[in-house]
Every structure is written in C-alpha cells, then in structure tokens.
Chain A
Amino acid sequence: GAVVSQHPSWVICKSGTSVKIECRSLDFQATTMFWYRQFPKQSLMLMATSNEGSKATYEQGVEKDKFLINHASLTLSTLTVTSAHPEDSSFYICSAEVHTRQSHFGNGTRLTVT
C-alpha cells in the first residue's frame, strides 16, 4: 500500500515552454504533499509544501510564480514549471504524507530544458 505515482518520469521541453508534473497518491489520501528538487550528486532540497485546498508554502529562494503548485484534491498535487529555462533542468520528486507521518515518495521526474 501507500503508493505514490509521479508522472511523467522524464520530460524534455524547449526553453520558454511550461511543463506540468503530477503527483498522485493511489491508495490513500495525503494530507500534505511535498515537492523536492535534486541536482546531480546533491541532496534533496525542499521547494514547497502543499496542503489540499490551500495555497502552497514555498521555501525561501523558490519563485512561486515560476513553480506553480496546485493541490486540488487529497490525492493529487501538480507542479508546473512555467517559462522553463535550461537552469530549471533537474530531478523533481514529490512525497505524500499520511496521518502516520510517514513519507511516501514518487519515482521522480527528470526535466531537461533545451
């Protein structure tokens, strides 16, 4: 149980376009979802915390207008990278939390902006 599906697993887009990444909890309702970013050979850095029905809370230095997060239901959160640039190329990974405070990770999305 407690499966988190993240889609797509990889995406290549052109500079200036927008990309949407979905994070779904398949068999449980997630009270909170988190979005992380990971550069090669580095650790996971928290970008934002997403609670269903409310605005996301962004970490310092993360542009909320560039990384749009929508958490419309207890099973779905989306991250949209708007007007993507090559420096946005990275590995993005979501996690969903249940009331037991256990984090369940998606498989991540590798974004390449050309």
Chain B
Amino acid sequence: QVQLQQSGPGLVKPSQTLSVTCAISGDSVSSNSAAWNWIRQSPSRGLEWLGRTYYRSKWNNNYAVSVKSRITINPDTSKNQFSLQLNSVTPEDTAVYYCARGDIGIDSWGQGTLVTVSS
C-alpha cells in the first residue's frame, strides 16, 4: 500500500518560489512502472495536472504548458521522494497542491497542501 506524505510551507510571497516535497513509502521513486505527479486544485481552475517525473532507464519529465516555463519536478532517490518547485508565483497559483502516483490512472494521492500566495 503506497503512502504519500507531503510537506511544505502554506504561505508564499508573490514572485517567490513555491516548494513542496512528497515522501514515498510502499513504492520507489525509481520504479520502472510508476510515474510521480503534481496536481493542483482551486475553485477557479478546477483540477489541474502540473507535471510528472518517471524513470524508464533514464529520468523523464513532462510539464503542463500553462506552467512549463516556471516548474521543476525533481526526484530524490536517496530519500525516496520527489519535489515540486514553481517559480515567480502570483495569487493565481493559490491552490491545494497534491502529489500523486500513476500514469493514466492516478491510484494514490497525498493529503494535499494548501498553498496561499500573498504578501
């Protein structure tokens, strides 16, 4: 049974960098059959897929067009976790951020982190 535990600040100032980490138990970030995603949810934007990282002989990333210039998702094999960094945030980036495992079907979700962008 995979479990995903998120951690990160709940308040970020405009123009700064949002960072959230997802610790994995019950699976490996280096798994050849899993993908590790970041998804956010807000009343104005609904559920929005942000990107993913996955290992298939080498590390790969896919990012949503809407955030591609500002996002980085990195795996950390030493700690079996992965992280989200979103640069130059604005109040529009205020949302609940979820980490999640899955490819087409997302079968495990973190508990969610409410991140508010405000000065």
Do A and B pair up? The answer is: no
Residue positions of A touching B, CB distance < 8 A: none
Chain B interface (Cβ < 8 Å from any Cβ of A): none
